[in-house]
Amino acid sequence: MCKERDQLLMEVMDWQEEYFINHVKERKPQKGTIYTKDYEEGFFITPEACSLGEPVYLDVPDLDTMKKLCNPDELVAMGEYGSLCGELPEWEAADSLRDFSDFSILEKSALCDAFNQYVYRDSSLVKSYKQPLNQYYFPMKVPVFEYEDIVVTKGHPLYIGKEGDEPTIVHFRNMTLEKGAQVITRGVVQVISDKVKSLGTKAEPDILASVGNNGADNTGAAAQGATGDPGTPGTSGTSGKNSCSIQPSSGGPGGTGKTGALGKSGWNGTNGGILEKKQRVMEGFFYVYSNGGNGGNAGRGGKGGTGGNGGDAAPANGHCPAGNPGTGGNGGVGGIGGNGGNGGDGKEVNIMYNQEASPTAKFKVLTPAQAVNMGLPNAAGGTEGAGGFAGEGGIGGRCYDASGKLVPSGDTYKGQPGVPGSDGDAGETGSPGDIFINGTYI
Kindly state the percentage of the chain with pLDDT values over 90.
75
Among 30, 145, 12, CA closest to 71: 12
pLDDT score recorded for residue 240: 83
Tell me the C-alpha to C-alpha distance, in Å, between residue 325 and each of 70, 234, 328, 401: 81, 7, 9, 12
CB 185 within 8 A of CB 291: no
pLDDT score recorded for residue 274: 93
- Mean pLDDT within 135-158: 94
pLDDT score recorded for residue 160: 96
The answer for residues whose C-beta is within 8 angstroms of residue 11's C-beta and 6 or more apart is none
**Parallel, antiparallel, or unpaired for β 56-60 and 140-152?**
antiparallel
- Mean pLDDT within 196-217: 94
Among 361, 249, 255, 378, CA closest to 314: 249
- Mean pLDDT within 215-243: 91
The number of residues making up the chain comes to 442
pLDDT tens for each residue of 396-412: 999 999 888 999 998 99
Q: How confident is the model at residue 207 (pLDDT cuts 50, 70, 90)?
A: very high
Does the pLDDT of residue 59 top 70, yes or no? Answer: yes
CB 200 within 8 A of CB 286: yes
Other CB atoms within 10 A of residue 54 CB: 10
pLDDT score recorded for residue 1: 59
Q: What is the mean pLDDT of the chain?
A: 92
* Residues pairing with 320 in the sheet: 317
Q: How confident is the model at residue 221 (pLDDT cuts 50, 70, 90)?
A: confident
pLDDT score recorded for residue 298: 97
pLDDT score recorded for residue 247: 92
- Mean pLDDT within 249-266: 95
Rounded distance, CA 388 to CA 300, Å?
6
Q: What is the 3-state secondary structure (H, E, C) of 79-136?
A: CCCCCCCCCCCCCCHHHHHCCHHHCCHHHHHHHHHHHHHHHHCCHHHHHHHHHHHHHH
- Mean pLDDT within 54-58: 87
- Mean pLDDT within 105-120: 91
CB 328 within 8 A of CB 414: yes
Out of 17-21, 127-131, 261-265, least confident range: 17-21
- Mean pLDDT within 55-73: 92
3-class state of residue 327 by DSSP = coil
- Mean pLDDT within 162-188: 93
CB 68 within 8 A of CB 75: no
Q: How confident is the model at residue 30 (pLDDT cuts 50, 70, 90)?
A: confident
